[in-house]
Amino acid sequence: MAEDIRDEHTTGVIADEHTPTVIADELHIVYRVNGAKTGKGSATAALSRILKRGSDDAARGVRKVHAVKGVSFVAYKGEAIGLIGSNGSGKSTLLRAIAGLLPAESGRVYTHGQPSLLGVNAALMNDLTGERNVILGGLAMGMTREQIRERYQEIVDFSGINEKGDFITLPMRTYSSGMAARLRFSIAAAKDHDVLMIDEALATGDRSFQKRSEARIRELRETAGTVFLVSHNNKSIRDTCNRVLWLERGELRMDGPTDEVIKEYEKFTGK
């Protein structure tokens, strides 16, 4: 689980532009997947496997997937950091570890405050209206009801889901995946974050919504937050990020200025 960076890595006063928000220190993330020997299994069996983690996994038919391998970096306030790499390279896994949703096999993650992870596959209350989801999403991010009321119309307008009808009053199950992703981003973007992690949210919606999203990310940077953006769209990365981490096969292949890293990545992919 991610630990608060203020307890481990801050002594004295540090200028904002040099204040670390996320530190990954030789981070390894390993998934354990049931193999043929485990049978159907159950929740109790799964808990037992977690508690016995590392004790003769092979004999119990558990296959290990080493998703993140010794990744180290320091992120600072005011940075927008793109995460790029081939499918299965460990980008989303790294974000989930930073958010404290995945335990480290070894190494550690330190964070300043509570990181917020926004992913297109995040759970939605499908039977509730968009309006109710705006309220619940805002509360989940720590906003007060008064703050939600003040920003409600801004959230709806930003998402653009009401441009072709009063969709905000309909259940979320009636939304397309793009509409749901746009509303989710709009809710998250209504609040300033110490660390906001966005997993492919800008891949949804039309160019107009993408431009609004990119502008909002730049605003979050200016308020001294840190933004992580996973995307396969190199243009979005170039437009919004000043730094890029390139992952391949779970390893950090390159970390540096956006143009330099993307140039090398495009050579690697041939695109």
Question: Do 175 and 195 touch, CB atoms closer than 8 A?
Answer: no
Q: Is the pLDDT of residue 9 over 60?
A: no
pTM: 0.76
Pick 19 or 52 by higher pLDDT: 19
Closest CA to 155 of 208, 90, 77, 216: 216
Q: Is the pLDDT of residue 134 over 60?
A: yes
Instruction: Give the residue-averaged pLDDT of 38-62.
Output: 57
Instruction: Give the residue-averaged pLDDT of 164-186.
Output: 88
Domain boundaries, the chain: 3-115+193-269
pLDDT tens sequence across 210-244? 888 888 888 877 776 898 999 888 888 998 899 99
The letter for the amino acid at 234 is N
Query: What average pLDDT does the chain have?
Result: 82
Structure confidence at residue 60 as a pLDDT band (50, 70, 90): low
Instruction: Give the residue-averaged pLDDT of 125-153.
Output: 91
Closest CA to 20 of 95, 110, 94: 110
Q: Is the pLDDT of residue 75 over 60?
A: yes
According to DSSP, the residues that pair with 243 across neighbouring strands are 81, 257
Percent of the chain with pLDDT over 90: 44
Instruction: Give the residue-averaged pLDDT of 27-54.
Output: 64
pLDDT tens sequence across 82-132? 999 998 999 999 999 998 889 999 999 999 877 888 764 455 688 999 999
Residue 42 is predicted with a pLDDT of: 54
Residue 44 is predicted with a pLDDT of: 58
Strand pairing report for 20-34 and 106-111:
antiparallel
- Which CATH code fits 3-115+193-269? 3.40.50.300
Q: Is the pLDDT of residue 14 over 80?
A: no
Q: Is the pLDDT of residue 190 over 60?
A: yes
Instruction: Give the residue-averaged pLDDT of 138-160.
Output: 91
Q: Is the pLDDT of residue 46 over 70?
A: no
Helix axes 130-140, 177-189, angle to 10 degrees: 40
The letter for the amino acid at 39 is G
Residue 25 is predicted with a pLDDT of: 97
| Whole-angstrom distance, CA of residue 171 vs CA of residue 110 | 38
